[in-house]
Amino acid sequence: MAITRTSDEVRAAVLHVAKEMLRSGLVAGTSGNVSGRLPDGNVVLTPSSLDYESMTLEDLVVVDPDGNVVAGHRVPTTEKALHLACLRRHPELGGVIHSHALFATMFAVVRQPIPCVIEEFDVYVGGEVPVAEYRLTGSDDLGEEASRWVGDRGAVLMANHGLLTVGTSPEKALAVAKLVERTAQIVWGARQLGPLVPLPESTLAMFSGIYRIMR
């Protein structure tokens, strides 16, 4: 049985994940953003252009599913359409993270998917991380394009932009982001040593099923 969080618990999770995203090197400055689905169907978001280290619960912004601000004194992230599109299209999701993780963004810039060559990647991400078509940052088009890729996996690269990860909670989306970034670095380094050796197809099929069950 799923455990329902209170609004205060979801808000606290969004703030914690935002700060951990900075500490983990997934973002720099005020880049990136985090969201969490509230029990009433509204969404709590990090605000636009505010330093994560000084961010408090009072700085978070709550919007309705259409993006209208219903609580908070700040402007929500300029990428609110990205978060809302994912949460609207996939009702099982409870958290979305947009980050500019260094190695993952390198793959996004050259528009190359991050291959699934490690078993845990298949289990927790659901397979290769694809690259969504380029759409202008902050646009509704970007939200619609990126959200269609995360129906059967936990991450997608946004061309020439960065990384989008999702999960049943903000913390789960953060765990996926950390794993994708670590794997992107491993793949980048492994390619300096020689060609990648893929996992057996049977392994991929078995573990991707585990991801779908957990999701």
CB 120 within 8 A of CB 214: no
Residue 52: CA count within 13 A, CB half-sphere: 23
* Strand 33-37 relative to strand 95-99, pairing: antiparallel
CB 169 within 8 A of CB 35: no
In this structure, how many other beta carbons lie within 10 angstroms of the beta carbon of residue 71? 14
Measured distance CA(175)–CA(86) in Å, rounded: 18
Q: What is the residue-wise DSSP string for 17-43?
A: HHHHHHHTTS--TT--EEEEE-TTS-E
Provide the token pair at 12.
């606290």
Measured distance CA(194)–CA(124) in Å, rounded: 26
Task: Please indicate whether residue 79 is annotated as part of the active site.
Answer: yes
Amino acid at 51: D
The active-site residue, picked from 79, 145, 171, 181, is 79
CB 67 within 8 A of CB 81: yes
Question: What values do phi and psi take at 105, rounded to 5?
Answer: -70, -30
Task: Give the catalytic positions in this structure.
Answer: 79
